């Protein structure tokens, strides 16, 4: 039934790959837009209630190190998992990942001050969030979700739990949306 309703999109379960291409395009857009304009369109602050604002913020990135790992991960693991699970499972998992990321971004939004990043002074910055915590940006949580989903699918629970804890230390509790989606998706779809 869901497959019939989404047949017009012709993505056939390639939602993560589509999002990865969007991540690349949004990174390219930051070269043509002013910083203030890019921040307005591709940042989540929790202040402005815009319908597609969080989705655009999840897609946006202005840090090359961030796009280097998120876009290929989204595209490559989408095709890897499509060989193992059905396109309908990937479509549902994508919706779960988006919703889970938005829930945790909303709960720990930048205005609350609750997103404590214990390892934010890691030697290399590979996220697109503001250094001062004033906004969230990047496809990190969606990339985490599909990475952990693939690891759990291949029965690598210990590895995935270790990296989930590492990501929470680096990104703070606002990133729990990705690991939560992977665990919930594993219980529901695998």
pLDDT tens digit string along 149-184? 999 999 999 999 999 999 999 888 999 999 999 999
Q: Does a structural domain hold residue 37?
A: yes
Burial of 155 (0-12, 13-18, 19+ CB in 10 A): exposed
Predicted local distance difference test score (pLDDT) of residue 132: 84
Predicted local distance difference test score (pLDDT) of residue 10: 66
pTM above 0.85, yes or no: yes
Q: Does a structural domain hold residue 3?
A: no
Phi, psi dihedrals of residue 77, rounded to the nearest 5°? -70, -25
Q: Does a structural domain hold residue 2?
A: no
Q: Does a structural domain hold residue 116?
A: yes
Q: Does a structural domain hold residue 85?
A: yes
Residue 142, both tokens: 């969606």
Higher pLDDT pick, 81 / 6: 81
Which residue in this structure is represented by tokens 């019939």? 4
Higher pLDDT pick, 48 / 179: 179
What residues make up the domain containing 26? Answer: 12-189
Number of domains in the chain: 1
Q: How far apart are CA 115 and CA 176, in angstroms?
A: 11
The fraction of the chain above a pLDDT of 70, given in percent, is 95
Higher pLDDT pick, 96 / 6: 96
Q: Does a structural domain hold residue 4?
A: no
pLDDT in tens, 86-136: 898 999 999 999 999 999 999 998 888 888 877 777 777 788 888 888 899
Predicted local distance difference test score (pLDDT) of residue 46: 83
| CATH code of the domain covering residue 105 | 1.20.1540
Q: Does a structural domain hold residue 5?
A: no
Predicted local distance difference test score (pLDDT) of residue 33: 94
Q: Does a structural domain hold residue 144?
A: yes
């Amino acid at each position: 039934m869901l497959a019939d309703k989404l047949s017009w999109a012709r993505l056939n379960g390639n939602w993560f790959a589509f999002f990865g291409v969007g991540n690349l395009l949004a990174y390219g857009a930051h070269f043509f837009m002013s910083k203030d304009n890019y921040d307005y369109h591709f940042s989540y602050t929790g202040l402005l209630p815009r319908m597609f604002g969080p989705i655009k913020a999840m897609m946006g990135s202005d840090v090359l190190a961030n796009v280097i790992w998120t876009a290929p991960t989204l595209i490559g693991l989408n095709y890897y998992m499509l060989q193992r699970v059905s396109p309908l499972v990937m479509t549902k998992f994508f919706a779960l990942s988006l919703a889970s990321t938005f829930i945790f971004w909303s709960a720990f939004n930048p205005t609350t001050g609750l997103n404590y990043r214990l390892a934010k002074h890691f030697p290399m910055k590979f996220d697109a969030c503001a250094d001062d915590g004033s906004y969230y940006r990047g496809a990190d949580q969606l990339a985490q979700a599909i990475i952990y989903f693939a690891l759990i699918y291949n029965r690598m629970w210990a590895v995935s739990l270790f990296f989930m804890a590492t990501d929470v230390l680096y990104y703070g509790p606002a990133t729990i949306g990705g690991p939560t989606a992977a665990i919930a998706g594993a219980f529901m779809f695998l």
